[in-house]
Structure 1
Amino acid sequence: MSMYLHLRAVPPSALRNSATWFQRLFEDDWDTVRERIGRHREEVLDKLYGDVETLYSGIPPHHAPEGPRTQVVLGGRPVFHTDSSLPPFLLLTASQVTGVAAYLKAADFDGLWRHARVQLLRPYAVPDAEPEVRGLFAATHRDLTAFYAQTAQYGDAVVKWLVV
Structure 2
Amino acid sequence: MYFHLRSVPAPALRNSANWLQRLFEDDWDTVRRRVDRHREEVLDRRYLDQELLYACAPSHPEENGPRNDIVLGGAPVFPDDREGPPFLLLPAARAARVAAFLTTTDFEALWRLARDHLLPRYDGSATEAETRCAFESAHRDLRAFYTQTAEYGDAVVKRLMR
Q: TM-score, normalised by structure 2?
A: 0.94
Count of matched residue positions in the alignment of Structure 1 and Structure 2: 160
**SS of structure 1 residue aligned to 2:81:** coil
Post-superposition Cα deviations, 1:79-111, rounded to whole Å, max 9, x if no partner, equal 111121210000000000000000000011111
1:10 is matched by which residue type in structure 2? V
Kindly report the root-mean-square deviation, in angstroms, between the aligned alpha carbons of the 2 structures: 1.5
Q: How far 1:72 sits from its partner (Å)?
A: 0.2
> How far apart, CA to CA, are the structure 2 residues paired with 1:122 and 1:85?
33
2:115 counterpart (114, 117, 120): 117
Q: Using a 3 Å threshold, how does the CA distance of structure 1 residues 32 and 128 change in structure 2: closer, same or farther?
A: same
2:56 is matched by which residue type in structure 1? G
**SS of structure 2 residue aligned to 1:130:** helix
**SS of structure 2 residue aligned to 1:123:** helix
Q: How far 1:126 sits from its partner (Å)?
A: 4.2
Alignment-derived partner of residue 39 in structure 1 = 37
Q: How far 1:21 sits from its partner (Å)?
A: 0.3
Structure 1 stretches of 4+ with a deviation exceeding 4 A read 62-65
> Which segment drifts farther, 91-100 or 78-87?
78-87
Alignment-derived partner of residue 163 in structure 1 = 161
Alignment-derived partner of residue 128 in structure 2 = 130
Q: TM-score, normalised by structure 1?
A: 0.93
Alignment of 1:10-49 (within 5 A): 10-49=8-47
Unaligned runs of 5+ in 2: none
> How far apart, CA to CA, are the structure 2 residues paired with 1:120 and 1:44?
20
Q: Percent identity?
A: 59
Alignment of 1:15-164 (within 5 A): 15-58=13-56, 65-164=63-162
Q: How far 1:127 sits from its partner (Å)?
A: 3.3
2:29 is matched by which residue type in structure 1? D
Unaligned runs of 5+ in 1: none
Give yes or no for contact 2:95–2:149 (8 Å, CA) kept in 1.
Answer: yes
Post-superposition Cα deviations, 1:17-60, rounded to whole Å, max 9, x if no partner, equal 1011000000000010001110100000011100000000129x
> How far apart, CA to CA, are the structure 1 residues paired with 2:125 and 2:148?
37
> How far apart, CA to CA, are the structure 2 residues paired with 1:72 and 1:124?
22
Return the structure number with greater helix share.
2
